[in-house]
Chains A and B, each alone.
Chain A
Amino acid sequence: DIQMTQSPSSLSASVGDRVTITCRASQGIRNSLAWYQQKPGKAPKLLLYAASRLESGVPSRFSGSGSGTDYTLTISSLQPEDFATYYCQQYYSTPPWTFGQGTKVEIK
């Protein structure tokens, strides 16, 4: 099974800050990577897929990059509504599809 290692597990940031979250796969996943945002008590929400494609309706301050085994989610200017937990997910080949352990973005 492909393991996903996400870092950091949590971070504190201020409104307006640039935030970067990384996700490393245990083997190459050919950009088969999605990023989700989850707020407390709510379902996850798709932000990006195919490593860098922005889901419709998601603000352009969210961006994704990477290749092979290493991927990054960047929030260019953190907004109050962005404080949440973020998960990466690989969907390369057949299941099991696996998630990173999550990154909690908190207010500094």
Chain B
Amino acid sequence: EVQLVESGGGLVQPGGSLRLSCAASGFTFSSYSMNWVRQAPGKGLEWVSYISSSSSTIYSADSVKGRFTISRDNAKNSLYLQMNSLRDEDTAVYYCAKVASSGWHFDYWGQGTLVTVSS
């Protein structure tokens, strides 16, 4: 059974940093691209960042470019999101999502971790 479990969320002040983790199991993690997607309270879904299976290709949304860094450790079956220079508008539930084998859509999602940016 595919499982994605996020951790690392919490309350942080504006300008602060936080590192999110996503532990993967139930599939060959090193063979699949992964993403981070976020959802502000009461709002819709926003794609944040993508990383290929070998980490050779990375994309990020303009809203987080230069502040957030996606990475992965295939030996640890883990995905990360380093978030720096956090802003109020980064407050959201952050989901990790696995890219399907049949296309670029997301076939499995974690339960999410809440990041609150507030003074």
Binding site for B on A (CB under 8 A): 32, 34, 36, 38, 42-46, 49-50, 53, 55, 87, 89, 91, 94-102
User: Which of A36, A43, A101 sits near B111, CB closer than 8 Å?
Assistant: A43
Residues of B within 8 A of A95 (CB): 47, 50, 59, 61
Number of interface residues of B (CB under 8 A): 21
Interface positions, chain B 65-119, Cβ under 8 Å from A, are 95, 100, 102-112
User: Which of B47, B50, B107, B109 sits near A55, CB closer than 8 Å?
Assistant: B107
Q: Is B1 an interface residue (CB 8 A)?
A: no
**When the two chains form their complex, are residues A91 and B103 in contact, meaning their CB atoms are under 8 A apart?**
yes
Q: Is B11 an interface residue (CB 8 A)?
A: no
- B99 nearest CB neighbor, chain A only: A91
Residues of B within 8 A of A38 (CB): 45
Can you report 13 A-B residue pairs in the complex whose CB atoms are below 8 A from each other? Answer: A34-B103, A34-B106, A49-B107, A87-B44, A89-B105, A91-B103, A91-B105, A96-B47, A96-B59, A96-B61, A99-B45, A100-B44, A102-B45
**When the two chains form their complex, are residues B105 and A44 in contact, meaning their CB atoms are under 8 A apart?**
no
**When the two chains form their complex, are residues A87 and B104 in contact, meaning their CB atoms are under 8 A apart?**
no
Cα–Cα, bound, A21→B61 (Å): 27
